[in-house]
Chains A and B, each alone.
Chain A
Amino acid sequence: MKRTLAVLLALMALAGTVYGAPKSKVKIALIIESTVDDKGWGQAMHDAIVAVQNKYGSSMIEYNYSEKMKPVDAGSAARQYASRGFDIIIAHGAQFKNLILELSEDFPKTTFAFGTNADVGPKNVFTYMPMSEETGYINGVIAGMVTKTNIIGIIGPVDAGDSARYNRGFWLGVKSVNPKADIKVAHTGSFADFVKAGELAHTHIKAGADVLTGAAQQATGGLRAVAEYKDKQIWWLGQDTLQLTMPEGFKVIAACSYDYAPVIEAMIDKRQAGVLGGENIPMTFENGGFVFKYNDKVGSVLTSAIRKAADQARADITAKKLKLDWQAIKY
């Protein structure tokens, strides 16, 4: 019996942190600047909350969301949720930092959260930070091995937050397998300008890039542009697994995405244990914060050697054998 219990505990530990069911009903509100079906930033958080709700049932998790919230409007929405007795209010975006910090003083018994942000907030504010250099690194390993022109393009939104971490992790991944690769980094200056991301993708391709990647919801515009080169060996590495299911998915070799479910569960768990905030919750492969998928339909471009290298990189990152000094990378 003891041995069985030990094996079970070991398996649970390997599977990441295990959270118990909420002891009482939890009301969660989400505030986002985009929409819950943007196949990117907003949808990843929404899907995670819905997954947690499905796991414990809507009788235990009540969920409401507000979309298209600019920081000016978001304050009003968050205040209404807090007044209506919502337990956890997540303003999904670093742009909401100031309003959340302000509101947290007015509603000390409400748990607020915003991210991505690595700072530790007040005692009723959680922050969360995807260590997206990990996902970037694995995609970078694949890109470095796939490229034939040795030119790789990155479509960044702005050089900050998790996008900056992803891009630098990607850089490290490429260089680990292909030190001579020329990595072109460019930014649109926007998280949501799909057209400009497409323009940037075309610019990369004209400059010789044959593998591209991009972060934030705008990246879908970049993928759409890559898909126009239907018969050419030009490929995409996604920062959201939903891109694999799009019609343009035939260009996506692999994709990583955030799974915010462990963050949501951690917040519920901590809150019910009396911790309303004051912590930063990291997202890593180790704690189940990331999902990684290959595109099995992509054909011969995804060789077994590439899979092996990417799998090894993921295993090393998860086991913390591989430390990624992303901050050292200067473009």
Chain B
Amino acid sequence: MNAGSFVLNILILGVPFSVALLLAALGETINQRAGIFNLGCEGIMAMGAFVAFLPPFFMAGTPQAPFANLIGLVLAIVVGALLGILFALVVVTFRAPQGIAGIGLQMLGWGVAGTLFRHYVGGVTGVAGIAAFPIPGLSRIPVLGQILFNHNPLVYLAFLLVPVFWYVLFKTPWGLKVRAVGTYPRAADSLGIPVARVRYQALALGGAMAGLAGAYLSLAQAKMFADDLIAGRGFIAVALVYFGRWNPVGVMVGALLFSLAQALQLSIQVAGIDFPYEFAVMLPYVLVIVVLALVRKARMVGPTELGKPFDREQRV
């Protein structure tokens, strides 16, 4: 394989690898902009992956099978949003510590998905999943077509959501409210912004995105469900929000960088380049840490009330 096709393969593979991270991290961006960090993202992804898997698994071979993936996606979004609301109940209404509650949600999602999977499905198995949809015309563009326009529809959706999330967050009244409750909730409250309600909405949206990210893994990328399918990607998504400095565009860059590093390390191994694989598999994680360390503290300004519960009765 020559250098050109080596690089091309990394780019072709890196784009779809990034989608689950991107979808989850976009949702987590909204969460954190509203002042809540949700470490339970991993658990919501597990539940999303599981419920999305069920319709194509059970409807295979039936006349309704063509709609199974769509039903699965909707289920994943709804279940993700409900889990986001459950998390909001715990951390917004009951003001539980967000870190502990998030770990609890992660374990809940992982445990429930695994248990239900065992009960209703059984062993590890696959589904037909979502097929690739090369965009007519664009997919034929040399090089670029293969990299950008030869994927399944969720890949296009994920990247289209980046400007949508940016616009919602920075150009709409609701986005302003989200940022306000994450930066200075007391001021927002004094202006009549319902802090709790906005945080509930943000967590529901964040949960829906995490559910969709899980569905991407089980329906579009792995096309299977297994215990621990998510394998830490939810936590990486949380880290990518810091990496992207709470900006959807930055988050997208982070997800792409991580996934391209992942594709690079796999390609290095496959190419037989004399490089210890133990270091190769570490490469994406090391890269994220290095970039986070290099970003100056002054530029890491995030929501100032991130992680702090809001109590309007509390004296300051």
Q: Tally inter-chain residue pairs, CB-CB below 8 A.
A: 111
* Contact among B221, B227, B282 with A34 in the assembled complex (CB-CB below 8 Å): B227
Determine if B9 and A203 form an interchain contact, defined as CB atoms under 8 angstroms apart. Answer: yes
Determine if A38 and B123 form an interchain contact, defined as CB atoms under 8 angstroms apart. Answer: yes
Known contacts A38-B124, A187-B269, A189-B277, A195 near B229 by CB under 8 Å: yes
Known contacts A194-B226, A198-B221, A208 near B1 by CB under 8 Å: yes
Contacts of B158 in A (CB 8 A): none
Q: Is A184 an interface residue (CB 8 A)?
A: yes
Contacts of B267 in A (CB 8 A): 203, 207
Q: How distant is the Cα of A157 from the Cα of B233 in the complex, in angstroms?
A: 18
Nearest-CB distance from B220 to chain A (Å)? 11
Determine if A207 and B9 form an interchain contact, defined as CB atoms under 8 angstroms apart. Answer: yes
Contacts of A325 in B (CB 8 A): none
Contacts of A204 in B (CB 8 A): 270
The number of chain A residues with a CB under 8 A from chain B is: 44
Nearest-CB distance from B153 to chain A (Å)? 16
Nearest-CB distance from B129 to chain A (Å)? 8
Q: Is A200 an interface residue (CB 8 A)?
A: yes
Q: Give the one of A35, A190, A195 with max B CB within 10 A.
A: A195
Q: How distant is the Cα of A225 from the Cα of B217 in the complex, in angstroms?
A: 12
Contacts of A286 in B (CB 8 A): none
Interface string of B118-148 (1 = CB under 8 A from A): 1000111110000000000000000000000
> Which residues of A247-281 have CB atoms within 8 Å of chain B's CB atoms?
247-248
Determine if B223 and A199 form an interchain contact, defined as CB atoms under 8 angstroms apart. Answer: no
Nearest-CB distance from A95 to chain B (Å)? 15
Known contacts A192-B228, A199-B17, A206-B9, A39 near B1 by CB under 8 Å: no
Known contacts A187-B277, A207-B1, A220-B124, A199 near B224 by CB under 8 Å: no
Contacts of A199 in B (CB 8 A): 13, 17, 221, 262-263, 266
The number of chain B residues with a CB under 8 A from chain A is: 35
Q: Is A68 an interface residue (CB 8 A)?
A: yes
Q: Is A193 an interface residue (CB 8 A)?
A: yes
Q: Chain A interface (Cβ within 8 Å of chain B)?
A: 34-35, 37-40, 43, 68, 153, 159, 184-190, 192-196, 198-200, 202-204, 206-209, 217, 220-221, 224-225, 227-228, 242, 246-248, 331
Q: Can you list 21 A-B contacts with CB-CB less than 8 angstroms, sorted by A residue number?
A: A38-B123, A38-B124, A68-B114, A68-B227, A184-B269, A185-B269, A187-B281, A188-B281, A189-B278, A190-B231, A194-B226, A195-B217, A195-B222, A195-B233, A198-B221, A199-B221, A204-B270, A206-B9, A224-B126, A227-B126, A248-B126
Identify 16 new A-B residue pairs, CB closer than 8 A, beyond the known A187-B277, A192-B228, A217-B124: A35-B114, A68-B114, A159-B277, A184-B270, A184-B271, A187-B269, A192-B227, A195-B221, A195-B222, A195-B229, A196-B231, A199-B262, A203-B266, A208-B1, A209-B270, A246-B125
